[in-house]
Structure 1
Amino acid sequence: MKIKQLSLILAVSVSTSVLTGCGIYNKYNAEKIDSDLVKEYAEALKQQDDSTAFGNLSWRSVFTDPALVDLIDRALANNKDLRNAKLNVDIAHAQLKGAKLSYLPSLTFAPGVNGAKYGHSDLSWNYQLPLAVNWEIDIFGKILNTKRGAQVAEMQTRYYEQAVRSQIIAGVAQCYYSIAALESQLKLSRETSELWKESVNVMRNLKEAGRLREDAVVQSLAQYYSIEATITDIELSLHEANNTLSLLVNEMPQKWTISPDATLNVPVMKRTAIPMAELAVRPDVRASEMTLASAFYSTASARAAFYPSLNITANGGFTDALGSAILNPHGWFLQLAGSLTAPIFARGQNIARLQAAKAQQQQALNNFEYAIMSASADISDAMTVYEKSMQKQQWLTLQVENLTKAVEVTNELLLFDGSTTYLEVLTAQKNLLGAQTAQITTNLAAAQSVINLYQNLGGGR
């Protein structure tokens, strides 16, 4: 008897070792993935998050403009994409609940009644009140891998929701500061247009007085028309930006109120090597990893299909139609059965599913590695735009200062010296307008680079 028990224990131990070696019971572990990049990523996940890192800051501490804060709150409450992302989390959570309950037996109740009449006999009624219990014993990990797959699927939807949330916050901020920049450009262009209109009238008077030629008046008038055309373009862009913002906050198209001093406090940041820890907190990267984990469990499930299924079935109940099998035909009955079903020949379906699962897992790994590298490129690009925008701001500030002086000097020379022409004054004003417009555009680029960097570092909590 002891020899039989020892043999049974040995057989179970060997079977468990074989199944574990086949990967049926293994949990997903990024450290064991055959990829140096993924292993580096797994090591970064072990590091404690730096709460002071730019990407870990609350969006309310990054965006402090009251009007912008209100718009972001509206978007987070009403945006349809974010609502759908939250519903995806609810769907995945419900599916996970179902997967967790798969370990329990199923219970069915199927009452029945029938009547029979033969010849001149009375109508005879028979009834049954049966209960059926079916329980699949998960000794080969089929249910286990389904449950684990549902768990990572739920985690993926949560990371995706966070990615959508981050995208919406960044999108609202981008639109807000774009509208602020366009309004500044529109104000500047309208002021310049009025100034140029007055200048055209002055030049016409000078021409009539014989102090100016016709070509100078025509050139000045053409520049005035160019400014008016630019105003039209800015108004169109402003209309489109307001509509985009309306979509983000899920409201009908309207003109949004922007704070008069709408400027983003651009922090001073220094370029460093992009640590993997910063990539590991990005929700889109984490979601891509969960896709890999899901593919891992799909492969394990495909392997488990080659092993037998063990089912225990029990039927019991009360009946009055048991016949002569028992002494009391009106009584209880009970049946208990166990079955072990092993696939022998499945027309190659199990092999095909396993091969497909392995290929899909490799695809998921490729996509995950690409997500990590793409995230690194996003951060590098945003950092470069930030640096170049800050440098350009310095040069444009100097340019605007000098062109402002140039306009003052040419005006003084025209009024008191006569050594310059009115056309030269207008040219100086034109150059100043171009520099001021470029300055507004560069300030917007600097703000947008900070917003992009915040999003690319996983910001939006």
Structure 2
Amino acid sequence: MMTQPLSMSRLLRPVRIGSALLAALLVLAGCSVAPTYERPSVDTPAAFKEAAPATQTGENGSQWKTAQPAEDIARGEWWKIFGDEKLNALEDTAQQANQDLKAAAARLGQARALTRDARAGYFPQVDAGVGATRQRPSPASQGLPADADTRPNTLYRAQVNVSYEVDLFGRVASTVDAATADAQRSEALFHSVLLALQADVAQQYFLVRELDAAAALYRGTVDLRQESLRLVQRRFDEGDISEVDVARARAELASAQSEALGIARQRATAEHALAILLGRTPAEFSLPPQPLTRLAVTVPPGLPSALLERRPDIAAAERAMAAANARVGVAKSAFFPSLNLTGGLGYESAQLGDLFNWSSRTFLLGPLVGTALSMPLFDGGRRQAGVDRARASYEEQVASYRGTVLNAFREVEDNLANLRILDQQNRAQDEAVAASARAAKLSHTQYREGAVSYFSVIDADRTVLQQQRASVTLDGERARSTVNLIRALGGGWGVPAEQLSSAR
């Protein structure tokens, strides 16, 4: 009996089926179930409440260059607007040696490595191996009787294995998107740490200088108290006054000396804190005394909408949202089929000496265990729980982002209010200092003429010291509030020094 030849259509049928399946897989590979990411809206005021109207002029009228919306944008050497070379040197040192900044840089490196790890999913994974297996087959597998004796044999293999996951529904792409957003978030957090370090160094430096000014003030007060004690002692020796005035003069001198030592103690502590910011031990750092003078730096706040671009912490919160959104896509892709292609090519032989002979070559297409195309059917709700968790995480990041924006607006408004009120307070305090100094001068004159008691002189001198100390404190508050405002605005972007007014 002759066998009928196969028709051409029957021969081509497997090819057609395979081609159709390949085309369908290629179409599915372009599909993604990840939700489209859109930045959530936030309520942004048209202008800052505490800013002067003249500063709300936008890009053309602002003294600061508008920032571009990029997480890795350089925040500029904004501290140079203060015109203090010592501060400039300290900032440079801190950026090179601060340990917190180095830790943030290491975290950024980890995030970038994880992004490269995720991108590896786009490519086939290739590995090579050499090994041997010892096996004794069952009689049934060899088509022999149940009581047949089969001998164990050793099989040597040397092969290259290839595996590849076809990204049918965007699982790999969503994983890469999430890792990329995480790396961008880490970069924004690095710049946030950098900006915080720069601001902390400037604030601590101005605190040291404020204490230097207070120390200089108390040194002058101690000298004045010593001169007053000599005057009182001479008048007592001449019998013009009682010993009570001498005792009061000694008490005021000792009090001024004690307060001067308290300032010195605070100054030492502040200098030690500055040394740590610079990455040094307190023993190897010393800052020469330099009394703080009143700063007159004007920092235009610009428009509130610029905060969404300037602040690195806002950029970090926004990137965290993007990463969470991508992970929703990863979780949803678990509901759909996955296709893993595997193959191997190499040699296998029962004799080690024949392993690399041409006749020992072998190949394998398809999974060694399981199936190439897998489709989830029932898992007790585990995949849905994963999607719900991913969506809840995204909502958490949305709330965190909006909270970060609100806090940024508050910080700017707080420091604008501080500087605005400090301007008024400085003017009032200057009048108080001048008036108290005039009253003290008159009291000393009247005391030398015998018109008033020494108690009036002590009270007038104490008032002068209090008013001068308050003035120094306000100058320090003004300097720190200026730094805080720059920090709240997200730093500077190469601000030309000539565009800002500053008092050296």
Gaps of 5+ in 2: 1-12, 47-57, 68-74, 137-151, 352-356, 494-504
Residues 320 and 397 of structure 2 are in contact (CA less than 8 Å); yes or no, is this contact kept in structure 1? yes
Residue 232 of structure 1 and its aligned partner are, at CA, apart by 2.5
In structure 2, which of residues 86, 98, 111 is the aligned counterpart of residue 92 of structure 1?
111
Aligned to 1:368: 401
1:391–1:81: structure 2 CA closer, same or farther, 3 Å change rule?
same
CA distance in 2, matches of 1:51, 1:159: 24
Matched, 1:184 2:213: yes
In structure 1, which of residues 227, 238, 249 is the aligned counterpart of residue 267 of structure 2?
238
Residue 264 of structure 1 and its aligned partner are, at CA, apart by 6.8
The structure in which a higher percent of residues are helix is: 1
Matched, 1:426 2:458: yes
Gaps of 5+ in 1: 41-46, 118-122, 323-327
Q: Match for 1:109: what amino acid? A: A
- Superposed CA deviations along residues 226-250 of structure 1, whole A, max 9, x for unmatched, are 3233223212211110110010001
Q: Match for 1:165: what amino acid? A: L
Identity of aligned residues (%): 24
Residue 191 of structure 1 and its aligned partner are, at CA, apart by 2.2
Residue 25 of structure 1 and its aligned partner are, at CA, apart by 3.7
Matched, 1:79 2:98: yes
In structure 1, which of residues 47, 52, 59 is the aligned counterpart of residue 64 of structure 2?
52
SS of 2:282 mapped into structure 1: coil
In structure 1, which of residues 15, 29, 34 is the aligned counterpart of residue 38 of structure 2?
29
Residues 320 and 330 of structure 1 are in contact (CA less than 8 Å); yes or no, is this contact kept in structure 2? no
In structure 1, which of residues 323, 330, 338 is the aligned counterpart of residue 359 of structure 2?
330
1:13–1:74: structure 2 CA closer, same or farther, 3 Å change rule?
closer
Worse overlay, 191-200 or 54-63: 54-63
CA distance in 1, matches of 2:421, 2:334: 57
CA distance in 2, matches of 1:315, 1:11: 25
CA distance in 1, matches of 2:346, 2:27: 41
In structure 2, which of residues 320, 333, 338 is the aligned counterpart of residue 309 of structure 1?
338
SS of 1:239 mapped into structure 2: helix
CA distance in 1, matches of 2:66, 2:436: 37
1:137–1:270: structure 2 CA closer, same or farther, 3 Å change rule?
closer
CA distance in 2, matches of 1:11, 1:129: 35
Worse overlay, 256-265 or 49-58: 49-58
SS of 1:111 mapped into structure 2: strand
Residues 201 and 274 of structure 2 are in contact (CA less than 8 Å); yes or no, is this contact kept in structure 1? yes
Matched, 1:397 2:406: no
Residue 270 of structure 1 and its aligned partner are, at CA, apart by 6.6
CA distance in 2, matches of 1:93, 1:451: 32
Residue 127 of structure 1 and its aligned partner are, at CA, apart by 2.6
Aligned to 2:484: 452
Aligned to 2:70: none
Matched, 1:68 2:69: no
Aligned to 1:346: 379
CA distance in 2, matches of 1:114, 1:340: 28
Q: Which has the larger radius of gyration?
A: 2
CA distance in 1, matches of 2:423, 2:65: 21
1:149–1:114: structure 2 CA closer, same or farther, 3 Å change rule?
closer
Residues 313 and 337 of structure 1 are in contact (CA less than 8 Å); yes or no, is this contact kept in structure 2? yes
1:124–1:340: structure 2 CA closer, same or farther, 3 Å change rule?
closer
Residues 321 and 330 of structure 1 are in contact (CA less than 8 Å); yes or no, is this contact kept in structure 2? no
Q: Match for 2:64: what amino acid? A: T
Residues 213 and 291 of structure 2 are in contact (CA less than 8 Å); yes or no, is this contact kept in structure 1? no
Worse overlay, 244-253 or 357-366: 357-366
Residues 163 and 342 of structure 2 are in contact (CA less than 8 Å); yes or no, is this contact kept in structure 1? yes
Residue 366 of structure 1 and its aligned partner are, at CA, apart by 0.8
Number of corresponding residues: 434
Aligned to 2:440: 407
In structure 2, which of residues 120, 131, 155 is the aligned counterpart of residue 101 of structure 1?
120
Aligned to 2:51: none
1:347–1:308: structure 2 CA closer, same or farther, 3 Å change rule?
same
1:264–1:220: structure 2 CA closer, same or farther, 3 Å change rule?
closer
CA distance in 2, matches of 1:13, 1:137: 9
SS of 2:156 mapped into structure 1: strand
Residue 57 of structure 1 and its aligned partner are, at CA, apart by 5.3
CA distance in 1, matches of 2:108, 2:91: 22
Q: Match for 1:419: what amino acid? A: A
Matched, 1:439 2:448: no
CA distance in 1, matches of 2:301, 2:164: 60
CA distance in 1, matches of 2:28, 2:358: 47
Matched, 1:197 2:226: yes
Aligned to 1:359: 392
In structure 2, which of residues 305, 320, 328 is the aligned counterpart of residue 299 of structure 1?
328
Q: Which has the higher contact order (CA 8 A, sep 6+)?
A: 2
Residue 37 of structure 1 and its aligned partner are, at CA, apart by 3.7
Aligned to 1:153: 182
Residues 74 and 249 of structure 1 are in contact (CA less than 8 Å); yes or no, is this contact kept in structure 2? yes
